[in-house]
Amino acid sequence: MFSRVLHVLLGTLCSLLAVPAAAEDSPSLPARIDSLVEATAVGPLAPLAGDADFLRRVSIDLIGTIPTAAEARAFFADSSPDKRNQLIDRLLDSPSFARHMALTFDVMLMERRPDKAVKSTEWQAWLYQSFLTNKPLDQLCRELISADGAEPAVRPASRFLIDRECEPNAVTRDAGRLLFGMDLQCAQCHDHPTVDDYLQEDYYGLYAFFHRSSLFTDTKSKMTLVAEKADGEANFKSVFTDNSADRVSPRLPHGPFAAAEPVFAKGEEYVSAPAKDVRAIPKHSRRAQLAAMLTSTPQFRRNLANRVWAHLFGRGIVHPVDAHHAANPPTHPEVLNLLADEVGRTNYDLKQILRPILQTRAYQRSCDPPRAAEIAALDPAGIKALIASLESERPSAEQRLKEHETDLAQLTQDLRKTRGEALNQQQAVIPLVAEAKTAQEELAKAQMSLAALQESVFTKEPQAVALAEAVAKAQEAAKLLGDDKTVVEATAALASRARSLKSEVEAARKSLDDLKKQLEVATVRQKAASEALAAAQQSAIGDKKLMELERKMLERHEQTQADRFSLATIDARLAQAKAILTWQQAEMSQSPAASQAWSTMIDGWTNNAQLARLRQLSCEQFALSLAQASGIAEQRAQAVREALEKTPPPELKDAAEADQSRILARLVEEQTFDKLLSTLNAFTSLYATQFAEEFQATVNQALFFENGSAVQSLIGPSGGNLAHRLVKIESPQEVADELYLSTLTRFPTEEERNDVAEHLKARAADRAVAIGEIVWALLSSNEFRFNH
């Protein structure tokens, strides 16, 4: 509490604390996020960005492009106090949002891999439809893992597996990063050399879900599909130590183990057994099991929340986003947990996850750093008191962590031992199941044979008696008739048949006795096998016990992680407070160290969401924003809109009146995007890799932007584009306003207006060329290239 009071006093000293803290009893999620962010702030909180910066920033983040000049004018003129929230809702409901998310997830999931078995156009269309219909993120991730390529509706999703050749190690590495935020690659051959949290058994726990899967080419359709075996266990041995495991149970990274697999008798494991030209489809799929387990771990939700935050802030709460571990703590662990809970509460609805973050002061802050004079004015005594308070908290935090780490180690050891025993018992049960099945089959066979023989004896015995009586009567008749040849022969035949039937009955009775003995043996065997199986199952360690041990271990893991992050938060705040003192002292003495201390402070404030980060546009955002700024995008959208209105397709023509505007907007977006693909592809082929933190254009990129046909086609006056519109405007001031609104989403300063006017005046003879030069200059400026 004392440190919290000191923080408030420190914030009061800073004139940049222009945004009031959220009320503690506020129920809204944005207010809770801001409260948590601001509670750990050391130093100034930047004020809210102006309307121009906010409009440009949120448009680029949500629809992947800057707004038009008309949209900017409308937003600036809107005096509604809720206009920012209204804008957020409009952008989230736009089909362009689905398009931008499809492009973003395409790059994130497939990393610009070339086409293989599944076409990228089909994959991107599937992503677009997924976001257009607001498919829950957990469902999308499940489809990535479980799709085998056979079902047409989700075949594009199988690209995640198939275009990685379904190679278990490649899929394991990427699934660990993208689904759980853990880059486990360096734990494949040994425990991770630099991350204590990443063990070889963690890698192979995830690997165990994928190692039974492989590619299969259907001979008829020629399609590449995913096949999966019903058996096979993962195993590993460290290249550096003697650590090894013959059987590794499937397990989520730092999460629960998979439930015990169902035991099938030999020959009954498959829906479709593997054979030549036959794809293996098991009754129990480990990939399907993983898909069903995704939401059972908070790490999956934390990873999604962190990636959403990183998309909006240019940096994750955990950064890098695929490095969730104790040595890389989140800047705001409570915010991350709060957002992870919200991910689950909203049923993985991306729009509902984005909206409250976009509404926070943290997201809407200005990126303009504070003035040096304002930092110099902070009270050093208050900062020193904060440092002393934080340092006094460290010992107790360290002690809690130590105690919980000890408990966690013991619980982990107990669970590992118990699971090993359970696996051994499970292996022992498998032959007992086979023996019980065989004994039951033999018993059933003996029972059926006995029943059939009893039926035969039951039928033949009265036949033999009747036939014997008939023979006696026939013999008496023969005596009465004397030597009648016919009667004598008939009597002899009848007597022969009677003797034969009598022999059959006697043989059947003997066989019946033998079968009864066999039945007794089969019954004893079946009973013994059943009792052995029941005893093994009764004595086996049950899922309930394992789940309880696992629950305790995971709870302690979460608590230990929280302790580590709490300690890291103390250290981060200490470092930031010390950086302020270092800068003040260096600034007063005019030491060269002031520059480094200033950079440390700025980095700390941006990482802590006290100051907005200046972010470079992605390749796609850059290309589409150029098309928007130059007027090409709107020009083509207008042509599409007019064509659709003139000749509406059945989908639009037959729709209810209330749905027509929504359908029209979607069709315009889809067809306009198709018309912009050539421009997008021209930029993607050259700017394919994500820009580095310190971006410097290559020679090819510089030449392309200066002389490339794709860029020149955007800036030359034609067909109603920006340059063409500007040529028609006589007033230099109006030219400057339209130019800056179209490219930089703001009105120009007076100095900039004067510069435009002087340039046009000096180039009156070739005004169209001069306007094109100004357009190119703004599009190639740093201000255009960055999101701010």
Q: What is the pLDDT of residues 617-652, one digit of tens each?
A: 998 999 999 999 999 999 999 999 999 999 999 999
Same-domain status, 767 and 645: yes
**For the whole model, what pTM was predicted?**
0.84
Among 633, 615, 614, CA closest to 623: 633
Residue 732, pLDDT > 60, answer yes
Residues 621 and 547 in one domain: no
Which one is predicted more confidently, 225 or 20? 225
Express each pLDDT in 498-508 by its tens digit. Answer: 788 888 788 87
Average pLDDT for residues 173-190, to the nearest whole number? 96
3-state secondary structure 433-454: HHHHHHHHHHHHHHHHHHHHHH
- Say whether 77 sits in a helix, a strand or coil: helix
DSSP of 544-570: HHHHHHHHHHHHHHHHHHHHHHHHHHH
Helix or strand run (H / E) with residue 248: strand 244-248
User: Look-up: residue for tokens 């009156």?
Assistant: 764
The answer on pLDDT for 693 being more than 60 is no
Q: Which has the closest alpha carbon to 179: 22, 34, 293, 276?
A: 293
Which 8-state DSSP code applies to residue 365? B
Domain match, 629 and 773 both = yes
For residue 360, tell me if it sits in a domain.
no
Task: Give the chain's radius of gyration (CA, Å).
Answer: 39
Among 160-169, 247-256, 286-295, 310-319, which stretch is predicted with the lowest mean pLDDT?
A: 247-256
Average of per-residue pLDDT across 726-732: 94
Provide the CA 635 distance to its chain's centre, in angstroms: 36
Instruction: Decide if 7 is inside a domain.
Output: no
| Cβ contacts of 672-675, under 8 Å, gap ≥ 24 | 672/633, 672/636, 672/637, 672/640, 673/99, 675/636, 675/640
pLDDT band per the 50, 70, 90 thresholds, residue 527: confident
User: Residue 549 contacts by C-beta under 8 Å, 6 or more apart in sequence?
Assistant: 411, 414, 415, 418
Domain check: are 491 and 620 in the same one?
A: no
Q: Are 48 and 365 in contact (CB under 8 A)?
A: yes
Helices (H) and strands (E) in the chain, counts: 32, 8
Alpha carbons 357 and 364: distance in angstroms, whole number: 9
List the domain range (segments joined by +) for residue 529: 412-551
Task: Determine the pLDDT at residue 21.
Answer: 43
Say what the pLDDT of residue 366 is. 97
**Cα 250 to Cα 257, 280, 292, 630, distances in angstroms:** 6, 20, 13, 53
For 36, residues 6+ apart whose C-beta sits below 8 A from its C-beta are: 332, 334, 335, 338
The confidence score (pLDDT) of residue 515 equals: 77
Given pLDDT bands bounded at 50, 70 and 90, which one contains residue 538?
low
**DSSP class of residue 786?**
E
561: nearest Cα among 399, 339, 408: 408
* Range from 19-23, 38-42, 144-148, 406-410 carrying the lowest mean pLDDT: 19-23
Which 3 state secondary structure label does DSSP give 214? Answer: strand
**Do 623 and 721 share a structural domain?**
yes
Residue 684 Cα distances to 227, 622, 624, 658, angstroms: 34, 10, 11, 38
Closest CA to 251 of 188, 202, 322, 181: 202
pLDDT above 70: residue 17: no
Q: How confident is the model at residue 3 (pLDDT cuts 50, 70, 90)?
A: very low
Would you tell me how many other CB atoms lie within 10 Å of the CB of residue 558? 16
Tell me what pLDDT residue 457 has.
77
- Which of 213, 202, 211, 267 has its CA nearest to residue 234? 211
Whether residue 136 is contained in a domain is answered as: no
In 684-753, DSSP assigns E strands to: none
Q: Is residue 262 part of a domain?
A: yes
606: pLDDT confidence band, cut at 50, 70 and 90?
very high
Please report whether residue 343 resides in a domain.
no
**CATH code of the domain in which 493 resides:** 1.10.287.620
Residues whose CB falls within 8 Å of the CB of residue 116, separated by 6 or more in sequence, listed in order:
162, 163, 224
Residue 637 sits in the same domain as residue 758: yes
- Residue 536 pLDDT class (50, 70, 90 cuts): low
Q: Are 95 and 669 in contact (CB under 8 A)?
A: yes
194 CA to centre of own chain:
25
In this prediction, residue 72 carries a pLDDT of: 98
Pairing of strands 234-237, 244-248: antiparallel
Asked which of 531, 551, 571 is the last residue of a domain, the reply is: 551
What is the tens place of the pLDDT at every residue in 748-769? 999 999 999 999 999 999 999 9
Residues 619 and 725 in one domain: yes
In this prediction, residue 367 has a pLDDT band, given cuts at 50, 70 and 90, of very high
Structure confidence by residue, pLDDT tens digits, 84-123: 999 999 999 999 999 999 999 999 999 999 899 999 999 9
**In this structure, how many other beta carbons lie within 10 angstroms of the beta carbon of residue 320?**
13
Q: Residue 212 has which token pair? A: 């039974």
> Do 466 and 541 sit in the same domain of this protein?
yes
Percent of the chain surpassing pLDDT 70: 93
CA angle centred on 173, ends 346 and 287, rounded to 5°: 60
Name the domain boundary from 275, 296, 317.
296
- In angstroms, the CA 85 to CA 89 distance is 6
Look at 291 and 262; give whichever has higher pLDDT.
291
pLDDT of residue 539: 62
At 47, is the secondary structure helix, strand, or coil?
A: coil
- Looking at residue 691, its pLDDT comes to 46
215 within domain boundaries: yes
Statement to judge: residues 625 and 517 lie in one domain: no
Residue type, 542: G
| Beta strands at 244-248 and 270-272: parallel, antiparallel or unpaired | unpaired
Task: Give yes or no: residues 629 and 770 share one domain.
Answer: yes
Whether residue 522 sits in one domain with residue 438: yes
Confidence of residue 541 (pLDDT cuts 50, 70, 90): low
Residue 54, domain member (yes or no): no
Count other Cβ atoms within 10 Å, centred on residue 516. 13
CA 44/CA 142 separation, integer angstroms: 43
Last residue of a domain, one of 296, 329, 362: 296
Does residue 436 have a pLDDT over 80? no
Q: What is the pLDDT of residues 337-347, one digit of tens each?
A: 999 999 999 99
- Is residue 371 situated within a structural domain? no
Assess whether pLDDT exceeds 80 at residue 12. Answer: no
Which band of pLDDT confidence, cut at 50, 70 and 90, is reported for residue 696? Answer: low
Residue 398 has pLDDT above 70, yes or no: yes
pLDDT at residue 23, rounded to an integer: 42
Question: Which range has the worst mean pLDDT, 447-451, 483-487, 493-497?
Answer: 483-487
φ/ψ region of 269 (left if φ > 0, alpha if ψ in -120 to 50, else beta) reads alpha
Fill in the DSSP letter of residue 296. Answer: G
SS3 of residue 679 by DSSP = helix
pLDDT of residue 683: 82
Mean pLDDT, rounded, of the chain? 89
Tell me: do 631 and 779 sit in the same domain: yes
What CA dihedral angle connects 270, 274, 280 and 281, to 10 degrees? -20
Give how many domains the chain has, as a whole number.
3
Q: Is the dihedral of CA 668, 671, 674, 679 positive or negative?
A: negative
